[in-house]
Amino acid sequence: MKHGIYYSYWEHEWSAKFGPYIEKVAKLGFDVIEVAAHHINEYSDAELAAIKQSAIDNNIILTAGIGPSKAKNLASPDASVRAAGKAFFEKTLTNVAKLDIKTIGGALHSYWPVDYSQPVDKEGDRARGVEGIHGIADFANNLGINLCIEVLNRFENHVLNTAAEGVAFIRDVGKPNVKVMLDTFHMNIEEDSFGDAIRTAGSLLGHFHTGESNRRVPGKGRIPWHEIGLALREINYTGAVVMEPFVKTGGTIGSDIRVWRDLTDGADEAKMDEDARNSLAFSRFVLGG
Ligand SMILES: O=C(CO)[C@H](O)[C@H](O)[C@H](O)CO
Ligand SMILES: [Mn+2]
């Protein structure tokens, strides 16, 4: 098991440059950094090559996260939006591969966060989502990339809210590089049992996000980490466990994640770093790896 952190912990915008964080997370002891792929198509090839080299130099594995915009929704009822989504993903995956990234996770099958001012068509969005993911899976596979479909809570997406729904979706897609992704923050809202949800995903679990119920770093709250660790060991999970804390207000990240109060008691960067380092030690101990 490899342990990582989403660099957005320190940032306010998905567009923030992620290159400089590689050295920082390596110094904190992480194996993995997750970067936002939302704006990766704006990076030059030279920039991507330098980032790849920095990852090699610092012995860090990169993974990618993305919340596709409404205009790039692979499940849109509008065929032109679906086509724009496919083109966006092909370009994004091509650039992601330049960083040797093997895992991209998020609501790839839909868009994020969902606009609930419009009527919801769960069945239609799910059917188009299956088709959309099926349509980009081979392209990703040829680049050596796994598409990890994140199960989100009801307030952020309507298509997949539980591990069981995630597994059924992945089975309908039926491609070996399309996997389920779980996140303890969302599981805490939707699942009856953390352990059962992880066992339901089983060998289809491709990526795992961690965070407390209020998205503080693991170890600061009341998520049942011991139960989660036992279940991950039981399914022989060998993928990445990426903590995804969101604790600062402000910017697009603060508003997309609905962070309306400072959850750090005014922590400066050194204290934020220390919290991440302590949480990593806690995560390795309780989850394994
Ligand atoms: O859990 C999440 C949203 O609540 C997601 O992992 C990411 O934040 C989103 O896909 C943006 O990368
Ligand atoms: Mn997540």
User: pLDDT tens-digit profile of 226-240?
Assistant: 999 999 999 999 999
pLDDT-based confidence at 134, cuts 50/70/90? very high
Q: Which of 34, 150, 191, 212 is catalytic?
A: 150
Instruction: Specify whether the CB–CB gap between 245 and 213 falls below 8 A.
Output: no
d(CA 153, CA 37): 21
Angle at 72 between CA 152 and CA 255, to 5 degrees: 50
Q: Please identify, by atom number, the ligand 1 atom nearest to the C-alpha of residue 37.
A: 12
Is the CB of residue 36 below 6 angstroms from any atom belonging to ligand 1? Answer: yes
Over residues 20-55, the pLDDT tens digits come to 999 999 999 999 999 999 999 999 999 999 999 999
Instruction: Specify whether the CB–CB gap between 13 and 253 falls below 8 A.
Output: yes
Instruction: Point out the ligand nearest to the CA of residue 66.
Output: 1
- What is the per-residue pLDDT for 114? 95
Instruction: Specify whether the CB–CB gap between 173 and 134 falls below 8 A.
Output: yes
Based on the residue annotation, tell me whether 190 is a catalytic residue of this protein: no
Give 23-28 contacts, CB < 8 A, sequence gap 24+. 23/54, 23/58, 24/273, 25/60, 26/58, 26/59, 26/60, 28/273, 28/276, 28/277, 28/280
Is the CB of residue 24 below 6 angstroms from any atom belonging to ligand 1? Answer: no
Q: State how far the alpha carbon of 74 is from the alpha carbons of 14, 23, 178, 209, in Å.
A: 20, 34, 15, 23
Given a cut of 90, whether residue 244 has pLDDT beyond it is yes
Ligand 1 centroid–CA 81 distance in Å is 21
- What is the per-residue pLDDT for 289? 83
Q: Please identify, by atom number, the ligand 1 atom nearest to the C-alpha of residue 67.
A: 10
C-alpha torsion 38→250→259→227, nearest 10? 60
Mutate to test the pocket of ligand 1, among 108, 150, 242 (most ligand atoms within 8 A of CB): 150
Over residues 157-171, the pLDDT tens digits come to 999 999 999 999 999
| Residue 2 CB neighbour total at 10 angstroms | 15
Q: Please identify, by atom number, the ligand 1 atom nearest to the C-alpha of residue 257.
A: 4
Ligand 1 centroid–CA 150 distance in Å is 8
How big, in percent rounded to 5, are the helix, strand and coil portions of the chain?
45, 15, 40
Which residues, by Cβ under 5 Å, contact ligand 2, an ion? 183, 209, 244
- What is the per-residue pLDDT for 78? 98
Over residues 58-101, the pLDDT tens digits come to 999 999 999 999 999 999 999 999 999 999 999 999 999 999 99
C-alpha torsion 97→62→130→74, nearest 10? -70
Is the CB of residue 65 below 6 angstroms from any atom belonging to ligand 1? Answer: yes
Query: What are 175's two structure tokens?
Result: 């491609």
Over residues 175-219, the pLDDT tens digits come to 999 999 999 999 999 999 999 999 999 999 999 999 999 999 999
**Token pair 């039926």: residue:** 174
Based on the residue annotation, tell me whether 150 is a catalytic residue of this protein: yes
Angle at 82 between CA 18 and CA 131, to 5 degrees: 100
Ligand 2 centroid–CA 150 distance in Å is 7
Which is nearest to 131 in space by CA: 96, 71, 198, 83?
A: 83
Q: Report which protein residue has its CA nearest ligand 1's atom 6.
A: 106
- What is the per-residue pLDDT for 109? 98
- What is the per-residue pLDDT for 135? 98
Given a cut of 90, whether residue 271 has pLDDT beyond it is yes
Q: Report which protein residue has its CA nearest ligand 1's atom 5.
A: 106
Is the CB of residue 150 below 6 angstroms from any atom belonging to ligand 1? Answer: yes
Is the CB of residue 156 below 6 angstroms from any atom belonging to ligand 1? Answer: yes
Q: State how far the alpha carbon of 18 is from the alpha carbons of 47, 164, 228, 242, in Å.
A: 11, 33, 29, 16
Q: State how far the alpha carbon of 247 is from the alpha carbons of 27, 213, 216, in Å.
A: 21, 12, 6
